[in-house]
């Protein structure tokens, strides 16, 4: 059975971009008699606001969507820690004490997520206490060999995890980074079609590598286009895109909004790109 998901982070209210993403995932599952899951990605300790869970559920219901909740990431920390231990035992992870500022100062290349880690801590003795743990991507690829994955929209892909460099898998302040947590969750939740915006396309190269290293099933992906504002940037509340909750409280019709998004009718100044 096809299983899609929407995995919002409760760092702020949902806006139209989230609505679009949830509708795409919901409708793909519905067309295929599948399941549509919602998972809270709430392990970003400092920014996470658990009370937003209720707001998100009210927003999705207002849009007329039906879904199945799966456990939030904060309830799965032991699973992440166990997977991180397995990866550490393979010798493919190394501790890193670099700060963001040090990385920014030393980086010579930029990847899709910002400055590429220049490998400062790779192969040097580092105190593992309170360290982040990074994946030695070249070593990992040497072990797995070439990997492929399929995006329903963009077609077959060769995995190129090196584009993101030696990503963090265990954060200094959490037992897993987004990459590790989301990959484990999609497998645990039985997701067959990982549905999300194309801003996360490059992350999938890393997720495919993690699946190979951890022996996880390989889903397909559907990276959809993003809603952009009139300056061509991704919608964001901080740039004035009203939240779904604001629209809901103002008495707007959520189902009509969902149908408008489905037929690519967007509010003024917003386009799909």
Which residues contribute to the site for ligand GLU (CB under 6 A)? 7-9, 41, 182, 196, 200
CA 59 to chain centre: 20
**Which lies closer to ligand GLU via its Cβ, residue 68 or residue 99?**
68
**Which lies closer to ligand GLU via its Cβ, residue 9 or residue 79?**
9
Distance CA 166, CA 126 (A): 16
**Which lies closer to ligand GLU via its Cβ, residue 10 or residue 119?**
10
Residues 76 and 184 sit within 8 Å (Cβ to Cβ): yes
Nearest-approach distance from CB 180 to ligand GLU, in angstroms: 12
Nearest-approach distance from CB 196 to ligand GLU, in angstroms: 3
Nearest-approach distance from CB 143 to ligand GLU, in angstroms: 25
Rounded to 5 degrees, φ, ψ at 96 are: -140, 130
CB atoms within 10 A of CB 53: 16
CA distances from 99 to 92, 106, 120, 121 (A): 21, 11, 11, 11
Nearest-approach distance from CB 76 to ligand GLU, in angstroms: 14
Nearest-approach distance from CB 231 to ligand GLU, in angstroms: 20
**Which lies closer to ligand GLU via its Cβ, residue 135 or residue 182?**
182
Left (φ > 0), alpha (ψ -120 to 50) or beta: where does 84 sit? alpha
Nearest by Cα to 236 from 223, 227, 225: 227
**Which lies closer to ligand GLU via its Cβ, residue 42 or residue 166?**
42
Minimal CB distance to ligand GLU: which residue? 196
């Amino acid at each position: 059975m096809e299983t899609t998901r929407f995995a919002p982070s409760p760092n702020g209210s949902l806006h139209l971009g989230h609505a679009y993403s949830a509708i795409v995932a919901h409708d793909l599952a519905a067309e295929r008699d599948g399941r549509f899951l919602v998972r809270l990605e709430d392990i970003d300790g400092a920014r996470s606001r658990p009370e937003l869970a209720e707001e998100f559920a009210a927003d999705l219901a207002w849009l007329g969507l039906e879904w199945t909740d799966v456990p939030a990431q904060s309830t799965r920390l032991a699973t992440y820690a166990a997977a991180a231990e397995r990866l550490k035992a393979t010798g493919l992870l190394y501790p890193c004490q670099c700060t963001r500022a040090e990385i920014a100062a030393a980086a010579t290349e930029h990847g899709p997520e910002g400055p590429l880690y220049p490998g400062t801590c790779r192969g040097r003795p580092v105190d593992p206490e309170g360290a982040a743990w990074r994946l030695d991507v070249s070593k990992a690829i040497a072990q797995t060999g070439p990997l492929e994955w399929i995006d329903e929209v963009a077609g077959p892909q060769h995995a190129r995890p090196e584009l993101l460099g030696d990503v963090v898998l265990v954060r200094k302040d959490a037992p897993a980074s987004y990459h590790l947590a989301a990959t484990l969750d999609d497998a645990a939740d039985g997701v067959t079609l990982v549905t999300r915006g194309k801003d996360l396309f490059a992350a999938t190269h890393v997720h495919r590598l993690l699946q190979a290293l951890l022996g996880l099933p390989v889903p397909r992906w559907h990276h959809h286009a993003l809603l952009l504002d009139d300056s061509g940037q991704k919608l964001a509340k901080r740039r004035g895109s009203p939240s779904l909750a604001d629209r809901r409280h103002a008495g707007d019709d959520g189902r009509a909004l969902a149908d408008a998004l489905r037929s690519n009718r967007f509010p003024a100044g917003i386009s799909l790109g």
